[in-house]
Amino acid sequence: MNTAEALPMPAPRGQISIRNVSKVYDPDGARVLAVDNCSMEIAAGEFCVVVGPSGCGKTTLLNAIAGFHGITSGEILLDGKLLCAPGKTPPPGSDRIVVFQNGALFPWYNVLENVTFGPVVQGVMPEREARDKARELLSQMGLQGIEGNYPSEISSGMRRRVEIARAMMTDPSVLLLDEPFRAMDALTKTVVHQFLLDVYDRSNKTIFFITHDLEEAIFLGTKVYIMTTRPARIKTVLDVDIPRPRDFRVLSSSKYIKLKKECIEAVHEEALKAFKAGEREMA
pLDDT level of residue 278 (50, 70, 90 thresholds) = low
For strand 81-84 and strand 73-78, is the pairing parallel, antiparallel, or unpaired?
A: antiparallel
pLDDT level of residue 2 (50, 70, 90 thresholds) = very low
Q: What is the mean pLDDT of residues 15-34?
A: 88
pLDDT level of residue 134 (50, 70, 90 thresholds) = very high
pLDDT value at 9 more than 60: no
- Let me know: does 83 contact 90? Beta carbons within 8 Å: yes
To 10 degrees, the CA torsion angle through 194, 198, 204, 209?
-20
Identify the pLDDT of residue 92.
83
Best mean pLDDT range from 8-12, 54-58, 171-175 = 171-175
112 in the same domain as 75: no
219 in the same domain as 88: yes
CATH code where residue 36 lies? 3.40.50.300
Q: Flag whether 1 is in a domain.
A: no
144 in the same domain as 117: yes
158 in the same domain as 197: no
3-state secondary structure 7-72: CCCCCCCCCEEEEEEEEEECCCCCCEEEEEEEEEEECCCCEEEEECCCCCCHHHHHHHHHCCCCCC
Q: Flag whether 3 is in a domain.
A: no
pLDDT value at 252 more than 80: yes
- Cis preceding-peptide flag for 180 (omega within 30 of 0): no
Note the pLDDT tens digit of each residue in 186-224.
888 888 999 999 999 988 899 999 998 889 999 999 999
Number of domains in the chain: 2
112 in the same domain as 90: no
pLDDT level of residue 277 (50, 70, 90 thresholds) = low
% of the chain exceeding 70 in pLDDT: 92
pLDDT value at 76 more than 50: yes
pLDDT value at 281 more than 60: no
248 in the same domain as 108: no
129 in the same domain as 71: no
* CA 26/CA 151 separation, integer angstroms: 37
pLDDT level of residue 274 (50, 70, 90 thresholds) = low
Describe the chain by its helix, strand, coil percentages, rounded to 5: 40, 25, 35
DSSP, collapsed to helix, strand or coil, labels residue 209 as strand
- Give the HSE-up count for residue 62: Cα atoms under 13 Å, Cβ half-sphere: 25
Q: What is the mean pLDDT of residues 166-181?
A: 92
66 in the same domain as 129: no
- Global pTM value: 0.88
Residues 6+ apart with CB under 8 A from 143: 111, 158, 161, 162, 165
Q: Flag whether 5 is in a domain.
A: no
pLDDT value at 12 more than 80: no
Residue-range definition of the domain harbouring residue 277:
12-95+175-282
Q: What is the mean pLDDT of residues 66-76?
A: 94
Identify the pLDDT of residue 269.
74
Domain boundary among 171, 193, 218: 171
Identify the pLDDT of residue 8.
52
pLDDT level of residue 55 (50, 70, 90 thresholds) = confident
190 in the same domain as 84: yes
pLDDT level of residue 56 (50, 70, 90 thresholds) = confident
To 10 degrees, the CA torsion angle through 194, 196, 199, 201?
-60
179 in the same domain as 77: yes
Identify the pLDDT of residue 37.
93
162 in the same domain as 25: no
Identify the pLDDT of residue 268.
76
